[in-house]
Amino acid sequence: MSERVQKLSVKKMFRAVQHERDRNFRTDQTSCSPTPMKIKKPTQSIESQTDVTLSSILNYSGPPSSRKESTDNIMDLPSPYCCDSPEDLIAAQIVYNERRAFTMQDEILVNPDVLSRRADISFQVAFLNPSLVSHRYPMEFLPTSIMTADLLMLGWRRHFIYYMDWIRTFDEFKALCLADQLILARCRHTDHGWFMHSYHTMLCGRYGICLANGGFHPHSTDHQWAERDKIIGEFYESQTKTVTDHLIIPMKDHQVDFTEYVMLKAIFFFREEPGMTPEGTCTVKEARKKYLRTLYKYIKGRHSADEKSAWTKFSTVLSFATVLTALKSMFDDRIMMNHFFKIMEFDGLILDVHNGDLNSVP
């Protein structure tokens, strides 16, 4: 299905909601007594106005497979959203695109043995040929195995291909020239990885780092801390504490729901980067402004009775970008140090992404 058809489908669903709501008002007014009365505009969330299909788009809080553990450990975060203007379609569309990229799977394996081989290719080759990196197998953020070096690298590769699928859901990204796409995609890869893994680790109710392949490295407060892999423990070191203290716990405390999460990912992704063309920089700036406005409007809608609370949450969640920058620096350094001392033998692609050298980008 083309993206244009998908967008039209979402718009048709919202029109159906509007028509149904108007029809209900007319029925209510006819059945009421003739006494004059003031009809207020409804403030129901979209979930109560339409069917489960649209509700699953707007209220999506992660893949069903990531919620198989006991309900005591799962974060149940609401995602109310009232669609009263065309601008509100932005949030619905970005949530829909996120779900589409997250659940994408390979019907036919182009490279069946790809996971048994090292991905010793450049970022540019991987960008143009994601199937050389990993299969699109179902992502399940469940702490089923203690993370090892192999699970870390395989999990990294699964995130890479999902990230490639996700960035290509944005019209703004596809409008960039190839050189700008390569610069932006490479520079934002690690930020996206940390934010995505932190959010889904929070959803599974654990403190630490959980990968899409079930690999889990526990935080010192987690009950599996004593079982941790020592090499992975030295590799992540302070990163696990930073993720827990400055991402997982704050997201949990501020009840960052799925709609806010996907919009934050877009905001963190669309930031100007040195080396981009003037046209590309302008496109990225405008995209960032659009998603900033949409996020603030969404948060304000959730905190309509208290504008101060809305602004506090808005500024707090945006500050996660600083944490992601610090984590990227730590992660890049750890990978290069491990490679230098031959502690872990990383694939060529991982080294290319994290060496901080953009000379290979045309």
Within a domain: 234: yes
- Model confidence pLDDT, tens digit, residues 234-243: 999 899 999 9
DSSP 43-59: ---GGGTS-HHHHHHHT
Report how far residue 198's alpha carbon sits from residue 30's, in angstroms, rounded to the nearest whole number: 52
**pLDDT score of 24:** 41
**pLDDT score of 356:** 60
Chain centroid to CA 348: how far?
25
- Model confidence pLDDT, tens digit, residues 11-68: 444 444 444 444 443 344 343 333 333 333 333 332 332 233 334 444 444 444 433 3
DSSP 244: I
Within a domain: 2: no
- Model confidence pLDDT, tens digit, residues 70-87: 334 444 444 444 555 556
Q: Which tokens hold the place of 104? A: 């994408």
Report how far residue 41's alpha carbon sits from residue 33's, in angstroms, rounded to the nearest whole number: 19
Query: What does pTM read for this prediction?
Result: 0.77
Within a domain: 263: yes
Q: Which tokens hold the place of 120? A: 């010793």
CATH no. for residue 68?
1.10.565.10
Range of the domain at 116: 59-354
Within a domain: 45: no
Q: Is the pLDDT of residue 116 over 90?
A: no
Report how far residue 243's alpha carbon sits from residue 161's, in angstroms, rounded to the nearest whole number: 23
Report how far residue 175's alpha carbon sits from residue 193's, in angstroms, rounded to the nearest whole number: 23
Within a domain: 44: no
Within a domain: 276: yes
- Model confidence pLDDT, tens digit, residues 244-298: 999 999 999 999 999 999 999 999 999 999 999 999 999 999 999 999 999 999 9
Number of domains composing the chain: 1
Q: Which tokens hold the place of 18? A: 């509007």
